[in-house]
Amino acid sequence: MRQQHDFLVLGSGIAGLSFALRAARHGTVAVLSKRGRAETNTAYAQGGIAAVFAPGDSFEQHIHDTLVAGAGLCREDAVRVAVTEGPPRVRELIELGAEFTRDATPFGYHLTREGGHSQRRVVHATDLTGHEVERTLLEACGRAGVRFFEDHHAIDLISEAKVVGGRGGDRALGCYALDTRSGSVDVFLAKVVVLATGGAGKVYLYTTNPDVATGDGIAMAHRAGAAIANLEFIQFHPTCLYHPQAKNFLISEALRGEGGILRNRSGEAFMERYDPRKELAPRDVVARSIDSELKRRGDDCVFLDMTHMTKAFLVEHFPHIYTTCLTFGIDMAVTPIPVVPAAHYVCGGVCTDLNGRTSIPGLLAIGEVACTGLHGANRLASNSLLEGMVFGQRAADTAREIAEQAPAAPRAPDWDPGRAVPPDEGVIVKQNWEEIRNLMWNYVGIVRTDKRLARAQHRLDNLVGEIQEYYWGYLVTRDLLELRNLADVARLIVACAQERKESRGLHYTLSWPQKDDARFLRDTVLMRGKPAPEAWPRS
Ligand code: FAD
Ligand code: SIN
């Protein structure tokens, strides 16, 4: 199949859908998702969307909190854009039909609190905010005539240089995508290509992320020559449910915001030994404190204690978490919830300016796959849905301008499978996949050292070689494509972590435990086959 559209969006989470809805006013839009259209990180978001609505709150306070969490590396203009454009985006969602939790305040909606926020600032739909946002945007995009291609797994970008045999520029023209139902590889072409592929939590053994989060967009952009930055800053959420049958179930930070207490197995409320802000310290501090407590005591989990709250309050505010815990035999009104930290969010990604432009002409990036500079070295809770909406819309306006000047319909050859044969050794893919996720957890996790990073790099170099060989020899499958991307992204994370010889925000290494502003108050930028620039064009 060959498809030609004005705008090609890879990803159907909050960023891709915010873009698509606005871009549909200006041209035809195709949205690809590698599984069902609603299977996104967005749909699992619990806490909410950070935006200034409370009477005592102000843009300056939200900006300040974001900059403090970002540990010196936020780009202030990106922070200002996200914070000031957030409230109108939230109001638009409400106008589109999003049902957020209401209360009797003049604003009319309940605001919850999360770590690092100096005010109650988080708009939410009980503890199912992402589900409500995804539903609202999907319905609106449907009404706007956006075309969805589900089970279409983008393999690689098509660039002008590839099409005209190296004589053209590196403009992005589209992508090849595997239709995972039929097995065919389809060609999608467009005037503007938008990466909205989300995060890469699956690079780690333990993660809050669903299976789609394999870092495909970062890997594709890097292979195409785009600038990538700050991948050493992986956010570990402090509280993922610890239960043998629970896969990736998050226990929202909003529980601590509403008064939850972290205790060790002896019942001690240990956070006060680590930080005066206790349970409401920024995530990196809480996750590291839990990690340290687990290592110190040799325990396998800590506990989030909500038992001092009434069952009625818990059920009203956290119905999804309450009932899910119950299915695992935990009544959180009676029993503290066993929790551990897990990989949650990638602060770095494909470098963009404030309008989603990457270093490749015709290629935009938005949402978690992008590095706008909003999060710096650590993301403030609930600033991610905000980022997806704000920059998704801004990118749509930029895309319109790019499309107006884009060359006539590009041509591109069909996918060439070469001499590839059907895969016969699924066990190789499984083994490599598990090895990567284990080594990333053990060597490139919450606490790092130079030695562990070197070991990870060595193993990954070997694995990438094996995977490349397999990739060229066999017909592509979804598992193989994801494995290839996981391996590429893991290597990039390690490369960024090795560059940063200091501890800052989410990057904590025992080899360089101090912050070093003189040498490292800058981004870690990588570009394939080129010397890394110190910074990337940002406006
Ligand atoms: P996603 O929503 O992850 O969407 C990615 C899309 O890309 C999917 O449609 C996927 O199919 C598609 N895709 C990926 N690769 C390919 C490919 N190769 N080909 C085709 N399609 C592809 N943030 C907050 O601000 N507030 C919260 O309360 C909050 N809670 C969270 C709770 C959980 C459990 C998790 C996991 C995250 C949470 N986050 C929260 C983070 C936030 O949800 C994500 O950062 C955000 O939703 C990312 O949106 P996105 O549009 O960039 O990507
Ligand atoms: C949560 O609800 O704890 C997640 C919030 C976020 O990741 O921003």
Q: Which residue has the higher pLDDT, 247 or 277?
A: 277
Choose among 102, 99, 129, 103: nearest CA to 114: 129
Residue nearest to atom 28 of ligand 1 (CA): 47
The reply to whether 100 and 171 lie within a common domain is yes
CA nearest ligand 1 atom 12, residue: 11
Q: Is position 293 within any domain?
A: yes
Q: Which atom of ligand 2 is nearest to the CA of 127?
A: 2
Cβ 384 under 6 angstroms from ligand 1: yes
Cβ–Cβ < 8 Å for 47, 381:
yes
Residue nearest to atom 21 of ligand 1 (CA): 33
Whether 144 and 289 share a structural domain: no
- Is residue 538 pLDDT above 60, yes or no? no
Binding site membership of 381 for ligand 2 (Cβ less than 6 Å): yes
Residue 495 phi, psi dihedral angles, 5° rounding: -60, -45
d(CA 20, CA 481): 25
The CATH number of whichever domain residue 451 belongs to comes to 1.20.58.100
Residue 416 lies in a domain: no
Same domain, 269 and 383: no
Contact between 195 and 350 (Cβ < 8 Å)? yes
Q: Distance from the CA of 380 to the center of ligand 2, in angstroms?
A: 9
Query: Does residue 523 lie within any of the structural domains?
Result: no
pLDDT at 424 over 90: no
How many independent structural domains does the chain possess?
3
Catalytic residue among 283, 379, 437, 504: 283
Angle between helices 14-23 and 383-405 (to 10 degrees): 40
Same domain, 363 and 247: no
CB-count burial class (<10 Å; 0-12, 13-18, 19+) for 214: buried
Most distant pair of Cα atoms in the chain: their distance = 68
Query: What's the mean per-residue pLDDT of the chain?
Result: 95
CB 335 within 8 A of CB 355: no
Q: What percent of the chain has pLDDT over 70?
A: 97
Please tell me if the CB atom of residue 260 comes closer than 6 angstroms to any atom of ligand 2.
Answer: no
Q: What average pLDDT does the segment 417-444 reach?
A: 90
Atom number, ligand 1, closest to the C-alpha of residue 370? 52
Of the listed ligands, the closest to the CA of 117 is 2
Own/partner long-range contacts of 421-427 (Cβ < 8 Å, ≥24 apart)? 421/473, 421/474, 421/475, 422/474, 422/475, 423/470, 423/474, 423/475, 423/477, 423/480, 424/474, 425/470, 426/479
Flag whether 39 is in a domain. yes
Q: Is the pLDDT of residue 534 over 80?
A: no
One domain, residues 158 and 271: no
User: 103 and 32 in one domain?
Assistant: yes
539 pLDDT above the threshold of 80:
no
Residues 473-477 have a mean pLDDT of 90
CA 58 – CA 75 distance, rounded (Å): 19
Looking at the structure, tell me whether residues 354 and 490 fall in a common domain: no
- Is 501 among the domain residues? yes
pTM of the model: 0.96
Compute the distance from residue 196 Cα to the ligand 1 centre, in Å.
9
What CATH number does the domain containing 322 carry? 3.90.700.10
Query: Which H or E element spans position 371?
Result: strand 370-371
Instruction: Evaluate whether residue 522 is within a structural domain.
Output: no
Task: Name the amino acid, one letter, at 159.
Answer: S
Distance 141 CA to ligand 1 centre (A): 17
Question: Is the CB of 372 within 6 Å of ligand 1?
Answer: no
With a 6 Å cutoff on the Cβ, whether 12 touches ligand 1 is yes
Burial pattern 79-101, b for ≥16 Cβ within 10 A else e, equals bbbbbebbbebbebbeeeebebb
Same domain, 48 and 146: yes
| Neighbour-count burial of 317, counting CB atoms closer than 10 A to its CB (0-12 exposed, 13-18 middle, 19+ buried) | buried
Q: Judge whether 115 lies within some domain.
A: yes
Q: Is the pLDDT of residue 171 over 50?
A: yes
* Three-class SS state of 22: helix
Distance in Å, CA 41 to ligand 1 centroid: 3
Same domain, 351 and 303: no
User: Do 50 and 196 fall within a single domain?
Assistant: yes
Check residue 122 and give its pLDDT. 97
Residue % of the chain over a pLDDT of 90? 88
One domain, residues 69 and 191: yes
The mean pLDDT of 465-473, rounded to a whole number, is 88
Q: What proportions of the chain, in percent to the nearest 5, are helix, strand and coil?
A: 40, 20, 45
Q: What ligand is nearest to the CA atom of residue 256? A: 2
Task: Read off φ and ψ for residue 305, nearest 5 degrees.
Answer: -100, 115
The larger pLDDT score, comparing residue 411 to residue 106, is at 106
Q: Are 444 and 452 in contact (CB under 8 A)?
A: yes
Pick from 293, 323, 344: which residue ends a domain? Answer: 344
In this prediction, residues 269-285 reach a mean pLDDT of 94
Question: Which of 117, 237, 374 has most ligand 2 atoms within 8 Å of CB, for mutation?
Answer: 237
Q: Which atom of ligand 2 is nearest to the CA of 379?
A: 8
Nearest residue to 488 via CA among 152, 158, 157, 222: 222
Which positions ≥6 away from 532 have C-beta within 8 Å?
Answer: 227, 524, 525, 526
> What's the 377 CA to ligand 2 centre distance in angstroms?
17
In angstroms, what is the span from residue 479 Cα to ligand 2's centroid?
28
| Of the candidates 85, 7, 3, 89, the residue with the CA atom closest to the CA atom of residue 399 | 7
Interval between CA 48 and ligand 2 midpoint (Å): 7
Between CA 43 and CA 135 the distance in angstroms is 8
Whether the predicted pLDDT of 232 surpasses 50: yes
Cα torsion for 303, 309, 310, 314, to the nearest 10°?
A: -60
Cβ neighbours of residue 450 under 8 Å, at least 6 residues apart? 498, 509, 511, 512
- Residue 92's closest CA among 398, 401, 390, 396? 390
Which residue among 40, 46, 318, 374 is best mutated to probe the pocket of ligand 2, counting the most ligand atoms within 8 A of its Cβ? 46
The whole-number average pLDDT for the span 18-46 is 98
Q: What is the mean pLDDT of residues 287-297?
A: 94
Are residues 133 and 20 located together in one domain of the fold?
yes
CATH code of the domain covering residue 226: 3.50.50.60
Domain boundary among 357, 376, 405: 405
Whether 329 maps to a domain, the answer reads: yes
Strands (E), 196-288: 228-229, 234-241, 261-263
Q: 293 near 268, Cβ under 8 Å?
A: no
Beta carbon of 115 within 6 Å of any ligand 2 atom: no
Give the range of the structural domain holding residue 109, as residue numbers without chain letter: 2-232+347-405
- 283 counts as catalytic: yes
Whether ligand 2 lies within 6 angstroms of the CB of 253 is answered as: yes
Cα separation, 182 vs 1, whole angstroms: 11
Tell how far the Cα of 333 is from the centroid of ligand 1, in angstroms: 30
Asked whether 384 lines ligand 2 (CB < 6 A), one says yes
Ligand nearest to the Cα of 347, by number: 1
Q: Residue 469: what pLDDT?
A: 87
